[in-house]
Chain A
Amino acid sequence: MYYFILALLPVLSIFLQSTIFHYFSIKGSIPDLVLIFVVFHAVFRGERRGTLYGVFCGLLEDLYMGRFIGVNVLAKGLTGYIMGKAQGNVFKENLWVGIITVVAGTFINSLVVAVLLMANGTVLDLEVVYSVLYQCLYNLLLAGPIYIWYYYYIYDGLMRAAGEN
């Protein structure tokens, strides 16, 4: 059940991001729900699982887009690793953990994607910075409620890993 929900979350996120969220975009920017779930998984499960989950989610996203397959694999994988490594001994009951990690994760993910796209010949300008800032704001708004839900389900609900109480 746990792994099924883990796999379902990015699928649902991509579906929401490609349909409903565009009607609620901020200056053309939509949130990155996939990234939020990768970051939270890394925070709760550590850097190795965070990296693997980031790679899996990034691959799903890249297969949907069909162009530059591998960019999101590396970006979300690296974000999962860094967030997992940085979570250390923080108190996960604290909501600020969720918010700060999502903001940091948004910047890391966007930076890696931008570098890889430029390495592949795409020309980027300052508009990208504004787009990332608006996305960061949107992710920040969603991070709080999703973190509360995620924390509850990790310890008490459907996403409780097998063998844990």
Chain B
Amino acid sequence: MFKLLKSKWFWLILVVVIGAFITMNQTSLPREDITLLEKAVHGIYTPLQNGINDIRGHWGYIGDLVSDKRTLQNRINELEKRNIQMAIDNQALREYEAQAKRLQELLEFKEDNLDIYDLQAAAIIARSPNNWNKTVLINVGANAGIQRGMPVIHPDGLVGRISSVSQNSAQVSLITDREMAVGVILQRSRETNGIVEGTGSSDVLRMNNIPYYSSIEENDRVITSGLSANYPKGIVVGTVSKVNREPSGLLLSAEVKPAVDFDRLEEVLVITNYHPPPVEDEETGE
């Protein structure tokens, strides 16, 4: 026992283990700013990752050049068909939008549609280097005004939140990460509030603690509720793929298929001017 205490190796390992537990505890909660050392590490990797992303873009262009002309033509035809359908849907949606705005003005509702937000486009240059986290690195950082906590979206739906920012890059925690949770509501019925959590898998999210009397069913669209301070209201999160009854019988749980294809995600949009609605102080009523 005393021989062990005299060993420098023992004390070194003890210091490392204690230091590791302390930093683990300190960094388990979200931090406002990352340390200089972490910024230095990101500073080394970001230019390399940007380079790989550029090369991949050029490679894709070269690939297209040598692709079969027929394949490319089929792809163009498919995209044109989709474009026409989207233009038709767009016309109808614009009518609904105009009608909704008229009704909102009549009822003096506050505007909180997505079109009032400023969006900063960003490319994904890297993903998490392990299987435990679901994060991506984007090529805009503090130099473009990105701050921690900003919501990140895609035209298909919600992607995640900015979790840390360096000078030229920012890390985005995806909603599929096990640590992430989003306040949601069903788009159809608008009566079922819930929280959707990531499972670590990029094609399944989990919605728990749904009341048994909820009218939730398969193919229901799930959107952000806006009740948490993290995300604006109305962003599509996914569609319900399966509804299960919990063993207690009082609650339901559901599997939600994300609207965004996280495996093929290449570009995202950062909402730079989202400010959560002020919380009413119960004492002063302000």
Contacts and interface: CB of A to CB of B under 8 A. Distances in A.
Interface string B168-203: 000100000011000000000000000000011110
Interface SS majority for chain A: helix
A18 B24 CA distance: 22
A30 B20 CA distance: 25
Contacts of A73: 16, 20
A51 B31 CA distance: 29
Residue of B28, B38, B42, B53 ringed by the most chain A CB atoms within 10 A: B28
A135 B200 CA distance: 14
Nearest to A47: B9
Contacts of A68: 24, 27-28
A124 B178 contact: yes
A160 interface: no
A70 B20 contact: yes
A63 B24 contact: no
A28 B126 contact: no
Given A18-B49, A70-B24, A127-B199, A51 B128 contact: no
Contacts of A63: 37-38, 41
B16 A77 contact: yes
Interface stretch (A37-45, A112-120, A143-151): A112-120
Given A64-B41, A66-B171, A124-B178, A131 B126 contact: no
B27 A69 contact: yes
Interface residues of B, number: 47
Given A18-B49, A122-B178, A125-B199, A69 B23 contact: yes
Interface in B199-226: 199-202
Contacts of B133: 65, 67
Contacts of A102: none
Nearest to B37: A63
Interface string B6-41: 000100010011011111111110010010011001
B127 interface: yes
Nearest to A134: B131
Contacts of A120: 24-25, 28
A124 B49 CA distance: 30
A42 B41 CA distance: 25
B23 A70 contact: yes
Given A28-B263, A66-B164, A127-B201, A116 B24 contact: yes
B24 A64 contact: no
A122 to B, nearest CB: 6
A127 to B, nearest CB: 6
Contacts of B263: 28
Contact of B129 (A64, A77, A125): A64
A83 interface: no
Interface of B: 9, 13, 16-17, 19-28, 31, 34, 37-38, 41-42, 44-45, 48-49, 52-53, 125-133, 135, 137, 163-164, 171, 178-179, 199-202, 263
Given A28-B202, A66-B31, A113-B132, 4 more contacts: A19-B53, A67-B179, A70-B20, A74-B20
25 contacts: A14-B45, A14-B129, A17-B130, A18-B126, A18-B127, A20-B52, A28-B131, A28-B201, A28-B202, A63-B38, A65-B133, A66-B27, A66-B164, A67-B27, A69-B27, A70-B23, A71-B20, A74-B20, A117-B132, A120-B25, A121-B28, A124-B178, A125-B199, A128-B200, A132-B131
